[in-house]
Amino acid sequence: MTNPAGSMISLVKNFVSRKGAAPVSLSVLIVDDEEAICRFVERVLSDAGYKTAMAGSGPEAIEVAAKLESMDLLVTDVMMPKMLGDELARRLRQDQPSLKVLYLTGYSDSLFKEKVTLWEDEAYLDKPCTIKSLLQAVSILLFGSLEKPAAAGLGAR
């Protein structure tokens, strides 16, 4: 019997070694009311070299974001109690207009009913997602391509 956690770590390390590690200075805030999803995304992104912080709700994410030095990407669930993902993104962008957003959703149909347009620095990914699709979506948002910059300084602000 194989260890799923060990398999995931192996997959991430294999993908990252082929594509290059993320610049160390890039930070990601992960927000999802499903703890398992939050832990999965956090593990994949931290293993890929990103600095990560997590929150279980929109209001908690606002508190966490206020304590962060910087934030390059928000990865958020769309449908959460207390605050929807697009409302969270709107509020965080009041202080950081260039914030990029990756919406994770199991309800892509309702995403486009509520939010008709995705802006330039936004993307969405259906849940559940694969390690590869998550890393590719993050790379496209942060770097504009599937290939990450080789030098750590290229992604820094």
What's the pLDDT tens digit per position in 101-145? 999 988 656 555 555 556 678 888 988 899 999 999 999 999 887
Six token digits for residue 138: 């993050």
Distance in angstroms (rounded) separating the CA atoms of residues 102 and 143? 13
> Which of the four pLDDT bands, split at 50, 70 and 90, describes residue 16?
very low
Q: Identify whether 155 is part of a domain.
A: no
Q: What is the mean pLDDT of the chain?
A: 79
pLDDT tens digits for 50-82? 999 999 999 999 999 999 988 999 999 988 999
Six token digits for residue 44: 């994949």
Domain count along the chain: 1
Q: Identify whether 153 is part of a domain.
A: no
Q: What is the CATH number of the domain that holds 90?
A: 3.40.50.2300
Q: Identify whether 84 is part of a domain.
A: yes
Q: Identify whether 151 is part of a domain.
A: no
Q: Identify whether 86 is part of a domain.
A: yes
pLDDT of residue 10: 46
Q: What is the pTM of this model?
A: 0.77
Q: Identify whether 21 is part of a domain.
A: yes
Distance in angstroms (rounded) separating the CA atoms of residues 37 and 60? 16
Six token digits for residue 58: 């929109």
Angle between helices 4-19 and 131-143 (to 10 degrees): 30
Contact call for residues 106 and 129 (beta carbons, < 8 A):
no
- Find the domain containing 123 and state its range: 4-145
Closest by CA to 135, choosing from 28, 5, 7, is 28
